[in-house]
Amino acid sequence: MTQPRRTLTDAERFDWLRLIRTENVGPITFHRLLERYGTARAALEALPDLAKRGGRAKPLRIAAKADVERELLANERVGARLLCSCEPDYPEPMAALDDAPPVVSVLGHAHLLRRRGVAMVGARNASMNGKTFAQRLAKELGEAGLLVVSGLARGIDTAAHAGALGTGTAAVVAGGVDIVYPPENERLYRDIVQQGVVVAESPAGTTPQARHFPRRNRLISGLSLGVLVVEAALRSGSLITARMALDQGREVMAVPGSPLDPRCQGTNNLLRQGAVLVESVDDVIRALESLAPPAVRERQGDLFAAPRPAPPTESELEQARTTVLENLSPSPVAIDELVRGCQLSAPVVLTVVLELELAGRVQRQPGNQVNLI
């Protein structure tokens, strides 16, 4: 039975931040560790042995307490708040993700994240018509009570934030919550801090790099009931966000465009594949009105439950490690398929994969897949 979420103590929040900042610990691994050990502190104590059993030769780099303290101070200096995924104020749609970030920094009006959200994304080199339409539509969506979520990028993102500024908009950034990117959006960023909310998964002070943007995109869709693409070329980051939205069970919507404009080829292709056609705010509201916010998964309520099931024995794991490694390759394989192929119990396979990941020998891929590095 799901238990109510709860607010962490400062000491627990410190441990959560230290665990997620530790080498080879991503969001899914973080949650697996908490499921197994119950608390972040217990997981931190178990990490060296887990990594060693996974075949790691050198010690695992656990985040230094001094680094965690510096990050907390950096958040405090800019007025940002740290939210952990088990806490009541953490957005429920995002908490329902398999790879929900255990810790996010929030700057501005965090209460806006309780609203039903709709993401608006599109081309950075958007047309004037595209930007005008996006700004008008975002304004009308905000006035209808929806939170407009976007990524503070040039073009459609900027227009969407500007349109919804008066009603509150959420900017999910790829770097730290205190870093403005692109630089020309500094004024818009300041306005969002004053009237909306900025969300970041990366530590304060992080300069965004290319690898950060796909991770950021999953949160844009994860905060929302649906994703609306206004203009996008065939190979566009906005289409990545749309694919993530589908994987997360969100609605995908698109604005049709001229077949002569390359910036509309991606959106027109989404429509061809079954996306909801949007020409007005009413189209968006109709598409979302029957959708409820994604439910928080049971694991969120079980993080502090007791007693916990007994972990696999060392003898079980010793026999399983060779089998799991033989069934892994550089090509990603779904965890469920790996369990079936190994003919082992899920807890045993998950524990072995956890050890290998902490050892730096496997990595997780979208769709609950893993592969050898």
- Give 74-120 pLDDT, tens digit per residue: 999 999 999 999 999 999 999 999 899 999 999 999 999 999 999 99
* Per-residue pLDDT band at 299 (split at 50, 70, 90): very low
- Give 173-194 pLDDT, tens digit per residue: 999 999 999 999 999 999 999 9
d(CA 360, CA 357): 5
Q: Which class does domain 312-372 fall in?
A: mainly alpha
Compute the average pLDDT of residues 341-354. Answer: 91
- Give 184-236 pLDDT, tens digit per residue: 999 999 999 999 999 999 999 999 998 899 999 999 999 999 999 999 999 88
pLDDT of res. 316: 82
pLDDT of res. 236: 87
Question: Strands 276-277 and 251-254: what pairing?
Answer: parallel
pLDDT of res. 308: 54
Check whether 30 has a pLDDT greater than 50.
yes
Specify the CATH number for 106-288; select among 3.30.300.30, 3.40.50.620, 3.20.20.330, 3.40.50.450. Answer: 3.40.50.450
Compute the average pLDDT of residues 2-15. Answer: 83
| Cβ proximity of 179 and 185 under 8 Å | no
* Per-residue pLDDT band at 310 (split at 50, 70, 90): low
* Per-residue pLDDT band at 309 (split at 50, 70, 90): low
Percent share of the chain, pLDDT over 70: 94
- Give 257-283 pLDDT, tens digit per residue: 999 999 999 999 999 999 999 999 999
Q: What does the domain layout of the chain look like in residue ranges?
A: 10-90, 106-288, 312-372
d(CA 110, CA 197): 6
Ranking 41-50, 301-310, 344-353 by mean pLDDT, the lowest is 301-310
Percent share of the chain, pLDDT over 90: 82
Check whether 307 has a pLDDT greater than 80.
no
